[in-house]
Amino acid sequence: MMKIDREKATDLVLGVLGIGLFLVLWEVIGAYRLAGLTWPKLSDVLAFLFEPSRQGLFLRAMGASFSMVAAGYVLGLVIGIAMAALVHVINPLRPGMDRFASVVNAIPPIALAPIFIVLLSREVTGMAIATLNVFFVIYVATTSGLQSSTRGHRDLFAVIGASKIRRFMSLDMPAAFPALVSGMKYAIPAAFIGAILGEWFGSSRGLGLLMVSAMQNFQIPLLWSAVLIASTASLLAFGAMSLLERFVYGRFR
Amino acid sequence: MSQSAQIRRSSGGFFLTLVSRYWGVLAVLLAWQAWVSISGVNAIVMPHPIDVLLNIVQNPGSYWQNGSQTLLLAAGGLVMGMALGTLIAVVAWTSRVLSGILIPLGLIFSSVPVVALIPVLARLLGYDVRTVLAIVVIISFFPAFVFTSAGLRALPPGSEDLFQVLGASKWRRFVHLVMPSAVPNWMIALRLAAPPAVLSAMVAEFLMGSSGLGYMFRAAATDFDTAQAFGTSVVATAISVLCFTAATLAETRVNQKWK
Amino acid sequence: MSAPHPQVSSTPWAIDIDHVGKVFTLDNGESLVAVDTVDLKIEKGEFVALLGPSGCGKSTILRLVAALEDPTTGRIAIENRDPLSLSRQHRLGVAFQDHALLPWLSVKNNIALPYKVAGRPVDHERIADLLGLVGLKGFENARPSQLSGGMRQRVSIARALILNPDVLLLDEPFGALDAVTRRHMNVELQRIWGEERITSLLVTHSVEEALFLADRVIVMSGRPGRVVKSIAVPFERPRRPEVQRTAEFHSLADELTLALEPEEAAAS
């Protein structure tokens, strides 16, 4: 452990150093205009972001976007788990569902936007795309997780005469839990991407709209602020999920 | 291999295979058709599938020109991004300090919605076709870097001791052990990066382009030419599915040889 | 801690393990004596088996000889040289319990790997000879995933022999195999070794395996690892499998088993 601890400490120091260097580089490039006028200093972006008069603007945009992200995430999670459980119990459905999920993954969301706009509305298109993105990640993670119980355990449940439902509840589900939580982690940025993309196709609210209008109107600090908010939120949620994942791996594996 | 297996089966068996593999996709298509027929929505809001098809057949030139441009940008950007990500991963592999600094940054960037960087990059690099390419390169870079980095460290059990006892130099260890070990992970990165490559090319064209499928889609939407908008969607989907399928097939083939 | 032994610049031994000790630092900062002053000389062309319970430090000794670890005290010499310089000259052959075949290479290319690592031209004739010797003719282009466990170990042994190493190191090479396959592989290894007669060090926890293969069996006890017994094996070579059914074999096996389990010996 002495050695391993030192390794970990080195990793931590280098990681922090890397992030620090990245932020300094951001500031320096902005300060000396190394990338032109459209690369602002980090300090300018932060000052812009925390300017009290703009709190309302950012809070409204965050409220609109994050509610789409959250709704899409939960919907995708529920549908993904439900579909994975369905094809696990009724196995013949599995190839078709697998194919469907991979087609959903391969279709660029921009191509689905017109359908969603017609079917639903412009405001919830982001949620719909987020749902699809999350569904794919969760479905893949859960189906592979449900198959991760070992042969020995399955044989044990067969020998003690457990019903299929019993086995599913007491063996397959807990065995799938670590894979599901990993999926939930990777679904976070997918949900954010979905919501932002949806907002680019004509939503009247949200961070995505801020980004596009700031881009078109050369409002550079506003553009970077919106991107920074979305990225930080995704990173924080991802970090929280990583902690949960670590706990679950310690408990279930 | 699956083709010959399918031919050997009876036509009934073939039909069953088709249904068992594509019931999900078929169900969605049927639901669409049923919804259009039953609700009888206005063709401007929701075009009939046949109108979409006609639009594509009647405008082969503009579909071909814009579609091939988007495909080239996506595929070229994907290849360049993968190459760049691999190169940086290899450079990071050679140094404890570099990998300690770069790998956490790579992980951070893969946990944020990188697509949100498109407007920033568009402003930084200017509205230009080269910017579309650069965006695809940058978005493909992160999975390539993260997965190759992990692959360069996922060596077969016992192989490190073996190479040490055999007295391998660092260079020979890299060529004969480390690089081949990373291949399966590299293929995963390729498969994961393919759909976002097509998506980001289209989104970049949509946001700032003057040509390409994304621009065509936007122009059609602005003119309320829904048949053309849906036609663009169909072509984009075809291109994306093509890239994804090619990447998946390549991965399967490589894994057959590699594992 | 200095070696009480006078330092001699030249010894007649193929492998000279000279008062070697190895201490590991544990997770909690405490130190564990894995090997406590082991002194072992192996002659050129001799086959020595290190026998002991798991955790007795026998694998550590092999790893020290393979230059995978550095001794804490004492020194190790192979043909009067530092083990590391031998491995750098590609003069060590090794087979692990974990076959360590590269999954993306064919059988032939796995066996050819040491040539590539050494930067030497591949001798295809030598590969063909070894494939015949280990009984894998016809499997040149198979890949490791297509082979059984026993066949993988044959490939691993052929790979260990390919460069005509000065020393062959075998770390439980058949430890992961079932009993029947293992016995069969022992017969094969005995035959293969008879052809090449390379100085060999085998680490095993099987009494029968050690007796059947080795010229000398060294019994180790654990925590800290030290040598408790050494016996010379009297059987003529080439050895036939029947030798394992002789009374002499059984009495030697009993002797070794007793040495392995001193508590039971004291209780009886």
| Neighbouring C-alpha atoms within 13 Å toward the C-beta of C64 | 29
Q: Confirm whether B47 is domain-assigned.
A: no
Query: Cβ contacts (< 8 Å) between C90 and chain B: which residues?
Result: 166-167
Number of domains in chain C: 1
Report yes or no on B201 lying in a domain.
yes
CATH number, domain at B244?
A: 1.10.3720.10
Choose among A202, A201, A218, A96: nearest CA to B122: A218
| pLDDT mean across residues, chain B | 87
**Residues ≥6 apart with Cβ < 8 Å to A22:** B105
Q: What are phi and psi of C18, to 5 degrees?
A: -105, 100
Q: Which two tokens stand for residue B46?
A: 């929701």
Name the residue facing C103 among B156, B161, B168 (closest C-beta).
B156
Q: Are residue B11 and residue B106 in the same domain, yes or no? A: no
pLDDT of res. B91: 95
Distance CA A180, CA C92 (A): 47
* Per-residue pLDDT reduced to its tens digit, C213-249: 999 999 998 778 888 889 999 998 888 888 889 999 9
For residue A29, what are the domain limits? 1-39
Of residues B6 and A228, which shows the higher confidence score?
Answer: A228
Q: Which residues partner with C202 through β-bridges? A: C49, C170
Residue whose C-alpha is closest to residue B184's, from B234, B120, B258 = B258
Using the beta-carbon criterion (under 8 Å), do B157 and C98 form an inter-chain contact?
Answer: yes
What contacts C15, CB < 8 A, 6 or more positions away? C40, C41, C42, C65, C76, C77, C78, C167, C199, C201
Residue C94 phi, psi (nearest 5): -145, 145
Report the number of distinct structural domains present in chain A: 2
Residue A136, pLDDT above cutoff 80: yes
List chains touching B (3+ CB pairs under 8 A): A, C
CATH of the domain at C178: 3.40.50.300
Q: What is the average per-residue pLDDT within B55-80?
A: 92
Q: Residue C249: inside a domain, yes or no?
A: no
Q: How far is CA B199 from CA A177, B208, B243, B251, in A?
A: 31, 14, 11, 21
The one-letter code for the residue type at A221 is: P
C27 contacts chain A (CB < 8 A): yes
Q: Can you give the residue range of the structural domain that contains C98? A: 15-209+223-227
Neighbours of chain C (3+ CB pairs under 8 A): A, B
Q: Alpha helix (H) ranges present in chain A?
A: 2-31, 42-50, 55-89, 94-106, 109-119, 125-146, 151-159, 164-167, 173-200, 207-216, 220-252
What are φ and ψ of residue A48, in 5° steps? -60, -45
Q: Which domain holds residue B4?
A: 1-40
Band (pLDDT 50/70/90 cuts) for residue C55 is confident
Average pLDDT, chain C: 87
pLDDT given for residue C84 in this prediction: 92
In a domain, C163, yes or no: yes
Q: Check pLDDT > 70 for residue B210.
A: yes
pLDDT score of A253: 67
Distance to chain B for C200, nearest Cα, Å? 15
Q: Are residues A220 and A194 in the same domain?
A: yes
End-to-end CA distance of chain C: 38
CA distance readout (Å), C112 to C117, C141, C164: 9, 12, 13
Chain A contact probe: residue of B17, B18, B23, B120 with most A CBs at under 10 A: B120
Residue A72, beta-bridge partner list: none
CB atoms within 10 A of CB A170: 13
Between CA C39 and CA A91 the distance in angstroms is 63
**Closest CA–CA distance from residue C116 to any residue of chain B (Å):** 8
A89, A33: one domain = no
Poorest-confidence range of A93-97, C6-10, C21-25, C96-100? C6-10
Judge if A144 and A214 occupy the same domain: yes
Q: How far apart are CA A108 and CA B201, in angstroms?
A: 10
Residue C8 has pLDDT above 80, yes or no: no
Kindly state whether residues A7 and A96 are assigned to the same domain: no
Distance of CA A186 to the CA centre of its chain: 5
Number of other residues whose CB lies within 10 A of the CB of residue A93:
17
Residue C174, classed as helix, strand or coil, is coil
Domain contains B46: no
b/e burial code for range B121-135 (CB count within 10 A of at least 16 → b): bbbbbeeebebbbbb
Q: Is pLDDT at C261 greater than 90 in this prediction?
A: no
Rounded to 10°, the helix B179-208/B213-222 angle is 30
* pLDDT over 90 (residue A97): no
The amino acid that residue A184 corresponds to is M
Tally B–C CB contacts below 8 A.
Answer: 70
Q: How many domains does chain B have?
A: 2
C223: left (phi over 0), alpha (psi -120 to 50) or beta: left
